[in-house]
Structure 1
Amino acid sequence: MTAPVAARSNAVHAGAWWLWALGLATAASRTTNPLLLGLVVGTAGYVVAARKTDAPWSRSYATFLKFGLVVIAIRLVFSVVLGSPIPGTHTLLTLPELPLPDWAQGIRIGGRVTAEQLVFAFYDGAKLAALLICVGAANALANPARLLKSLPAALYEAGVAVVVAMTFAPNLVADVARLRHARRLRGRPTGGVKAVLQIGMPVLEGALERSVATAAAMDARGYGRTARVPAAVRRLTAVLTLGGLLGVCAGTYGLLAAEGASYGLPVLLAGLVLALAGLRLGGRRSLRTSYRPDRWGARSWLIAGSGAAVAALMILAGSWDPEALRPGVVPLAAPALPLWPAAAVLIGLLPAFVAPVPPPAPEESR
């Protein structure tokens, strides 16, 4: 399947990008192997570089990448200052230890810092950083407005709040980049504490203006108006939705727990059916219509399926060879790259070849 130039008719569904990214995040959550985590981050970065557009939200991936590095640094600092239960023989330095009362046993501040505890902290921080970067990839590739249009009518109000929260970081990144570019054109410095303080006020002012404009647009379009639904239907909707969610929780616990393997799948399926029925009935309260709804085509199925395949194969690898996915640090040794889990992660590169190619920027086209 040759990837065409992106257009309105062949656009990838926003939900497919999120399912792909959540699949990579699930794979990252199953391992602390830094080689596999680096492969997950590289896969997400390659797809973003190949298929991102010039939209404001597409610039958020680099910011999430920086957040990931900050998370790793914070995890290392906490390990140095607060210590670690990981035993080690390779002492790097010894900090002055602060004596604590008897009720704080098990906690120490300062003391011996070993290479084993730093490597363990790095592995732990790298896993959390990879999760953040996968979320950043979804923010960079999926149009939040299109994702909101695809939500069920019963979840429209909650979806608006979630989409506004998801678009805050990309818009903030776009505002900071715009203001830094304007300062460079004026010959003013863009680094340092003084520059950050001078940029912060216009960024907050822009966020407030967007909030007021969004509220006015929602009010003008009749947001919040609902249809009259009989009381019996409302009660039935609440019972179905709540019962379905409880069934999903109980079924998921059954699948994860060894003693609930017999009833987990039937309860999960029954909960999904009840929840979908409740959402279907709850959608009667919404009076909105969807103009030119996004279609879930073959490319969307391939993109979402590649993320699901990565997650499923990584979960399977964790049950077959857990030591390869979670390398030990005592004794201290270099981690090895397991071949077939690495090949499973590379399935996540499929969107870079099947998703439509973004059109060239105006400057490039000229």
Structure 2
Amino acid sequence: MTLHPGAWWLWGLLLAVAASRTTNPLLLGLVIAVAGLVAVACRTEAPWADAYGVFLKLGLLIIALRVVFHVLLGGITGETVLFTLPEIPLPSWAKGIRLGGPVSAEGLLFALYQGLQLATLLGCIGAVNALANPKRALRSMPAALYEVSVAVVVALTTAPQLVASAKAVRKARRLRGDGARGWRALRTLLVPVLEDALDRSLALAAAMDSRGYGRTASVPAGTRRLTSALVLAGLIGLCVGIYGLLDGQASPYVTFGLLLAGAGLAIAGLRLGAKRVPRTRYRPDPWRWQESVVAGSGAIAAAATVFVSASGGSGLVMSVVPIEVPTLPLIPALGVLVALAPIAVRTR
């Protein structure tokens, strides 16, 4: 039996929190390597098991686009000018924006670090998509969220279905003797892949709706309003707390206070809303000690990075003016390595 999908999502999101607190290319590369090793070692034979490679390629594209945008539109400037592009004059209302001009090594490094950070975040999410079963994740949804289950089905299954559809379409084209590659192959694959993935997601949502998924019992209007208010307030608190956690500028006490308050309100609302669903679950997914180890390893990676960042430790945020040679910070690196724990406790 594979691990609970909630454990994988907690592991991936917490690993992404660790990546969001640093622009050190060595530490970001370590996060990508850890996510990739876990995705490869714990993968199954499911159609979405190749999602990590797709997200990794998307991350490389984002890095390239970020560097190209910096070269064309400018940004951080420095003394080490590598080359100069012809500059197009812009009107006065576009002050602060330029097209062309000098391109410095400092600016290129800054763009590269930012692109690498975003690519690392995508890599963490890609690893989760390759490991977590989206259908099992839907079975574990709180009862208070059943009313939005159809939208959640489409949202959670689109990315895995894209990977499965791409593999099926490529295999069908090879069987027909079509060995096209490059841009021509991409143009001919794009529409059928998107159409097939969306059709599969909508078919799953329709099947769930036809089986009564999301139907609720009658409850007093006051209970419904209280449930909605608690869930909404909890989600707002969680969103603000997560933003502060990822941003790194807010006080950690305020950030974690909002996270705890939001989580408490959301849990209270979800438990109250569960009374609206007069059904039991058939063979619910158990949460065992393996799931706790997986989620805990991600929490250790995030906590180590957040702790060093909050205490003003060096090595997390790279300086580009002047250019700084990156070094691997010890405590965050050890915390990220702990995130390899799923390999030791994986089950089949």
Correspondence 1:23-102 to 2 at 5 A: 23-84=14-75, 86-102=76-92
CA radius of gyration, larger in: 1
SS in 1 for 2:67: helix
| In 2, Cα distance between equivalents of 1:264 and 1:63 | 33
1:219 to 1:279, Cα distance in 2 relative to 1, 3 A: closer
* Distance apart, 1:201 and its partner CA: 4.1
Residue identity opposite 1:60 in structure 2:
A
Q: Which one of 289, 300, 305 corresponds to residue 291 of structure 2?
A: 300
Are the aligned partners of 2:54 and 2:163 in contact in 1 as well (CA < 8 Å)? yes
Structure 1 residue 135: Cα displacement: 0.3
Equivalenced residue count is 345
When residues 223 and 268 of structure 1 are mapped into structure 2, their CA distance, relative to the original with a 3 A threshold, is closer
Classify the secondary structure of the residue corresponding to 1:304: helix
CA distance in 1, matches of 2:4, 2:211: 24
Deviation of 1:164 (Å): 2.1
- Inter-partner Cα distance in structure 1 for 2:136 and 2:84: 54
Indicate which of 108, 111, 117 corresponds to 2:101: 111
CA root-mean-square deviation: 2.5
Q: Displacement, 1:286?
A: 2.5
* Sequence identity (%): 57
Matched residues in 2 for 1:312 and 1:30: separation?
11
1:248 to partner: Cα distance: 5.3
Deviates more, 1:331-340 or 1:103-112: 331-340
Query: Out of 167, 175, 181, which is 2:165 matched to?
Result: 175
| 1:1-366 correspondence to structure 2 within 5 Å | 7=1, 11-84=2-75, 86-207=76-197, 209-211=199-201, 213-245=203-235, 257-258=250-251, 261=253, 269-356=260-347, 358=348
Distance (whole Å) between structure 2 residues aligned to residue 40 and residue 220 of structure 1: 42
Specify every segment of 5 or more residues in structure 1 that has no aligned partner in the other structure, as ranges: 1-6, 359-366
Conserved? CA contact 1:324–1:336, under 8 Å: yes
Change in 2 beyond 3 A, CA 1:257/1:335: closer
Aligned partners of 1:271, 1:320: CA distance in 2, in Å? 25
TM norm structure 2: 0.90
AA in 2 matched with 1:157:
E
Compared CA separation, residues 26 and 268, structure 1 to 2 (3 A) = closer
Is the alpha carbon distance of 1:31 and 1:246 closer, same or farther for their aligned partners in structure 2, counting shifts above 3 Å?
Answer: closer
Q: Is the 8 A contact 2:150 2:209 kept in 1?
A: no
Partner of 1:361: none
Residue type of the partner of 1:284?
A: K
Structure 1 residue 296, shift from structure 2 partner: 0.6
Q: What's the offset of the Cα at 1:244?
A: 4.0
Cα 1:166–1:266 shift into 2, 3 Å? closer
Gaps spanning 5+ residues in structure 2: where?
Answer: none
C-alpha distance in 2, partners of 1:66/1:252? 27
Pairwise CA distance, 1:79? 0.5
- Distance change in 2, residues 1:178/1:150 (3 Å): same
Contact 1:144 1:166 in 2 (8 A): yes
Distance 1:100 1:252, change over 3 A: closer
Contact 2:48 / 2:160 at 8 angstroms: preserved in 1?
yes
**Contact 2:150-2:208 at 8 Å conserved across structures:** no
Q: Is the 8 A contact 1:57 1:167 kept in 2?
A: no
- The 2-side partners of 1:61 and 1:250 are apart by 28
Give the Cα–Cα distance (whole angstroms) in 2 for the partners of residues 178 and 247 of structure 1: 42
Q: CA offsets per residue over residues 196-243 of structure 1, 9 Å max, x none?
A: 333334324423542553354134302342211122222332343344
Amino acid of the structure 1 residue aligned with 2:145: L
| 8 A Cα contact 2:32 2:123, kept in partner | yes
| CA deviation string 1:266-317 (max 9, x = no partner) | 6764554333222122122224432100111000000000000100011011
In 2 relative to 1, CA 257–25 (structure 1 residues): closer, same or farther, beyond 3 Å?
closer
Q: 88-97 or 23-32, which moves further after superposition?
A: 88-97
Structure 1 stretch displaced more, 103-112 or 192-201? 192-201
Moved more, 284-293 or 269-278: 269-278
